[in-house]
Amino acid sequence: MHTRGKQGRFDRYLVTVEALIGIGVVTAILGSSYGPAPTVTFVFASVALAFTAFVLFKMVVSLRDPSLDVSGRFRDEERDRLEEEKRLLLQGIKEIEADAAIGKVDAHDYAHLRGTAERRALAIIHHLRALDERWMNEAKRQASRVVPSSTAAPSPRASAGTESAAAPSTRHALASAPPTSASVIEVRAESTSSAEPSAFASSVAGGRAAPAVLFDDRPITCKINQATKNDLICDGCQASSPLDARFCIGCGRPLRSPSDESKPDALEDR
Amino acid sequence: MASFGYTLLLIAVVVTAYTISMAVVGHHTRRPRLVVSAEFGVYALFGLLTSATFVLVYLFVTNDYSVKYVQHYSDRSMPLFYKVTALWGGQDGSLLFWVWVMSVWSAIAVVQNRDRNREIMPYTIVAMSVVCAYFLGLLVFICNPFETYLATAPTDGRGLNPLLQNPYMVSHPPTLYLGYIGWTIPFCFAIGALAHGKLDYAWIASMRRWCLVAWVCLSVGLALGGLWAYEELGWGGYWAWDPVENAALIPWFTGTAFIHSIQVQERRQMYKAWNMVLIILTFMLTLWGTMMTRSGIVQSVHAFAQSSIGEYFLIFISVVFVVSFGLLYVRRSQLAPENSLESVVSREFAFLANNWVLLAAAFFVTFATMFPSIFKWVKGEQINVGPSFFNIWMIPIGLILLFLTGVGPLLSWRKSTGATIREQFTIPGILAALTFGIFWFALGIEHPAAVITFALSVFVTSTILQEFYRGTRYRMKNAQEGPIDAFVTLLNRASRRYGGYIVHFGVVLMFVGFAGNAFKLEKEASVTRGHSVSIGRFDVRLDDLVFEDDGQKNMVTAKVSVFELGADQSKATPIATLEPAKWAYRKPEDQVTTEVAKLMSLRDDLYLVLGGYDAEVGTAALQLKVNPLVNIVWLGCAFLMFGLTIAIWPARQRATQPSPLRRLWPSIAGSGALLIGLMATVLAFI
């Protein structure tokens, strides 16, 4: 697949180069008769017309392409909006930190502004997490539809005799999954035989040995999720703060170790 | 070929109508393939208009005088260079150029958003296509650049206005158009968001960089226009408050207000409706400016001839007004602020004050520009509003803006306390007071506006340096970096903020250059061959008068030697030879232009104009001017470009470039922009 992609790209480059050589030859022939300026203008106009014809063709063809209706649904606009707002809020927090560090904001205002932004950012992170779960459930539902019908009717031998053998392997698959396994789509065989994952995987992977994990497309919020599970505890007031916090939410003391402080990005604005 | 060009325009009209309908139907019936088809319609429009533009250029370079537009704006003796630029030399061609640039911007906007903002894009595409459709309608039905002579075609053209036969003709109109039309894209995103009701961060994120690009293009376009006027018109200045200049300046004011105000929405979720108002106003003012320039409503040295398109512009502006503000009214509940203004000593209020001042400037300039037309309409008498009237009001407005440029960045969000104000303002305040004292009392300079400008310039510069110093010190302390590393990282990591400060410094330099006008020297003298006249520190001697003809024009050139006078005004050192001239073009008939000669330096310009001559006696009437600090204005523009380059550098590249060399890219690109600006300044010197 990868090789074919490379080959396709090479073919496109080849066609482009050939087209450019062709245009150059035509330009040279016309230029010798009509002069350079009219010829160059004429060639540019012709290239623009060729582009127009191609685009008009695509414009009409796209009307009859139902796959475009489907692909459009996979984009989660709500998620984009929240990610953008979160980005701006985190950027704002960094700016407030920088302003506080250079004495532009007093302590009270700093706490207020930072607290407000953090609360909002946390709310957004929670919302994003909920969206992720919803997306995952939908993806699982879609994946389960793809499972061949043969898996829905397991062989009597498998259902009768290998259930006890299947259970350990399933447990093993689940135990070896990363901690944020909510984001990982797995072939779960809790109520079916051990043969089912293989059958499903075979149908997907073309008969090769089936991995327990189909794909691991972990959303970014899982990292945040993981981070927020491991809060930092303030030495001063014992309050719990997120892992990426620099100052304690409770008393404002610095939380980071010197090694972490070697990579500050508080003044980053994007 | 002309009929082929016109056919392309007709197809473009059909494609635009198709694009609008597909975007609307696709969105309402929830069929993305129709929206995708509409997007291809936008690309097709770009292709069609590119082809049509090249067809018109082809007609120019092949001297096809059967086409009226080509015959009106070119002739056989014109160099190829000016034949190509004659594309935007007249009304019809410049409208084609306008809609072509619009199609380019639209195609880029659609490509950028092909995978995001899918909800607002259909309406954004509709808004962009409606704007294109309006201009295409003008081209097809009223100002057809491909119109041909019905009877026998002339054998030669009338020629381009000699004032337009200048190298700046290549850079000034396109840059200005890019800026002018660039504001259309943020407006279309705003309309898309209003129409869909998705008024969150998506549309702001989509148009943030567009605004900065439009702003810098408009700023550079204005500066190039000033430079062109300074070189070509021969009156010794770069800004005369001419209606056509004002037409580009007015949306610049509201656009500047918008790019400041939008930051408050990003940080504090305030001014949401206000930002909508500003972007709608900016777009409407670009249309208004275009109408003023092209309808013959106002008199100007470089307005297009009177035509009937003013009425159509008025109708379109009215439609835009009703639709935009109607949508704004419908969505007003969704645009409620999430925070309130807590103190007048806050950055939010500083931005609001900046907005008020900029809007006041926009409305004053609009009113003053239109005043002669209004007066003529009411009283039936023709009056002129000269630069002195504009300066009376615009100098204080400019000084307030300069003051706010320094104050805004030092205030904190929400509110600033007495302690923080003291800490931030003590050093800049003292330096500004010292500067005022030195200029006013010690040097005895009695130009209040100039002295206040210098003091405020020092104030703003010191606030900027203070910000850089404190930011660098903060990084040095926290990241254990050396000063250079800390400074570079600061620029890379907070490029928008610190790029903005560099832009502010460019503005300061421009104000210093404006203040130099207060010390301008002027003199007119009739000088005989071998005799001299002195002005300021210069002594100018007329060596010879030379008469030449290059086939296109008659040229009279005064050969002049310039000497610098010593401190006692006696000892003169030769420093340059200048050649002010007068050119009389054959086409258009008896059109005479003044070719200015300049001796340029950062301190001042010696500006020489050959006003007249007596060939028999060997006498030249010279107009001499010394313009102090004028070149600092152009240097300020270079800093403006440098700062903007840093500010708009794409974030993704910076985030994924680990190597130290690559981290420097924004600075390198910015330095490149500065270098180009400086080279342009040096070229202007030559």
Better-predicted residue by pLDDT, B45 or A76: B45
Mean pLDDT: which of A92-101, A113-122, B396-405 is highest? B396-405
For residue A254, give the chain B residue with the closest CA.
B478
Better-predicted residue by pLDDT, B186 or A29: B186
Nearest chain B Cα distance for residue A101, angstroms: 7
Which H or E run includes A215?
strand A213-215
% chain B with pLDDT above 70: 91
> Mean per-residue pLDDT for B440-445?
82
Is the pLDDT confidence value at B654 over 60?
no
Mean pLDDT: which of A115-119, A170-174, A253-257 is highest? A115-119
% chain B with pLDDT above 90: 29
Q: What is the pLDDT of residue B452?
A: 94
CA separation, residue B49 to residues A106, B12, B20, B136 (Å): 56, 7, 17, 10
Which H or E run includes B488?
helix B483-493
Nearest chain A Cα distance for residue B507, angstroms: 22
Q: Give me the DSSP letters along B183-209.
A: THHHHHHHHHHHHHT--SHHHHHHHHH
Q: What is the pLDDT of residue A245?
A: 66
Residues 226-285 of B with CB under 8 A from A: 266-267
For residue A47, give the chain B residue with the closest CA.
B51
Residue of B4, B7, B19, B37 to mutate when probing chain A, most A C-beta within 10 A = B37
CA separation, residue B260 to residues A29, A113, B271, B328, B350 (Å): 55, 20, 11, 20, 10
Q: Is residue B441 part of a domain?
A: no
Q: What is the pLDDT of residue A206?
A: 40
Query: Which residues from chain A sit within 8 angstroms of residue B34, using beta carbons?
Result: 63
Strand B597-600 and strand B553-565: the pairing is unpaired
| CB-based contact B533:B661 (threshold 8 Å) | no
Percent helix / strand / coil, chain A, rounded to 5: 70, 5, 25
Angstrom distance (rounded) from CA B136 to CA B98: 10
Q: What is the pLDDT of residues B548-567, one digit of tens each?
A: 887 777 888 888 888 888 76
% chain A with pLDDT above 90: 0
For residue B52, give the chain A residue with the closest CA.
A45
Q: Is residue B646 part of a domain?
A: no
Nearest to B51 among A52, A263, A266 (CB): A52
Is the pLDDT confidence value at A35 over 50?
yes
> Mean per-residue pLDDT for B592-608?
86
**Measuring CA to CA, which residue among B492, B456, B457 is closest to residue B472?**
B492
Beta bridge partners of A96: none
Q: Is residue B447 part of a domain?
A: no
Which residue bears the tokens 């500067």? B435
Q: Please state the ipTM of this predicted complex.
A: 0.74
Q: Is residue B620 part of a domain?
A: yes
> Does any CB of chain A come closer than 8 Å to the CB of residue B302?
no
Q: What is the pLDDT of residues B8-24, one digit of tens each?
A: 999 999 999 999 999 99
Q: Given B630, B651, B676, which residue is the final one in a domain? A: B630
% chain A with pLDDT above 70: 53
Q: What is the pLDDT of residues B494-505, one digit of tens each?
A: 888 888 999 999
A197: confidence class by pLDDT, cuts 50, 70, 90? very low
> Mean per-residue pLDDT for B185-203?
86
Q: What is the pLDDT of residue A220?
A: 45
Mean pLDDT: which of A65-69, A118-122, B295-299, B384-388 is highest? A118-122
Q: What is the pLDDT of residue A19?
A: 77
What residue numbers bound the domain in which B167 lies?
2-337+345-366
Nearest chain A Cα distance for residue B15, angstroms: 9
Nearest to B33 among A69, A102, A261 (CB): A69
Q: Which of A31-40, A148-157, B79-88, B103-112 has the lowest mean pLDDT?
A: A148-157
For residue B36, give the chain A residue with the closest CA.
A62
Q: What is the pLDDT of residues B33-64, one digit of tens each?
A: 888 999 999 999 999 999 999 999 989 888 88
DSSP A230: S
Q: What is the pLDDT of residue A248?
A: 74
Q: What is the pLDDT of residues A211-238, one digit of tens each?
A: 333 333 444 445 445 544 556 677 777 7
Angstrom distance (rounded) from CA B61 to CA B86: 10
Q: Is residue B561 part of a domain?
A: yes
Tally of domains within chain B: 2
Q: Is residue B113 part of a domain?
A: yes
Q: What is the pLDDT of residue A193?
A: 38
Is the pLDDT confidence value at B364 over 50?
yes
Q: What is the pLDDT of residue B504?
A: 93
Is the pLDDT confidence value at A157 over 50?
no
A263: confidence class by pLDDT, cuts 50, 70, 90? very low
Nearest to B47 among A52, A66, A103 (CB): A52
Q: Is residue B654 part of a domain?
A: no
> Mean per-residue pLDDT for B85-90?
83
Query: Which residues from chain B sit within 8 angstroms of residue A44, using beta carbons?
Result: 54
Is the pLDDT confidence value at B678 over 60?
yes
Mean pLDDT of chain A: 64
Q: Which of A218-232, B233-247, B326-340 has the lowest mean pLDDT?
A: A218-232
Q: B37, A63: Cβ pair inside 8 Å?
A: yes
Mean pLDDT of chain B: 85
Mean pLDDT: which of A79-83, B151-155, B444-448 is highest? B444-448
Query: Which residues from chain B sit within 8 angstroms of residue A38, using beta carbons?
Result: 58, 61-62
> Mean per-residue pLDDT for B588-611?
83
> Mean per-residue pLDDT for B327-335?
89
B134: confidence class by pLDDT, cuts 50, 70, 90? very high
Is the pLDDT confidence value at B622 over 70?
yes
Is the pLDDT confidence value at B304 over 80?
no
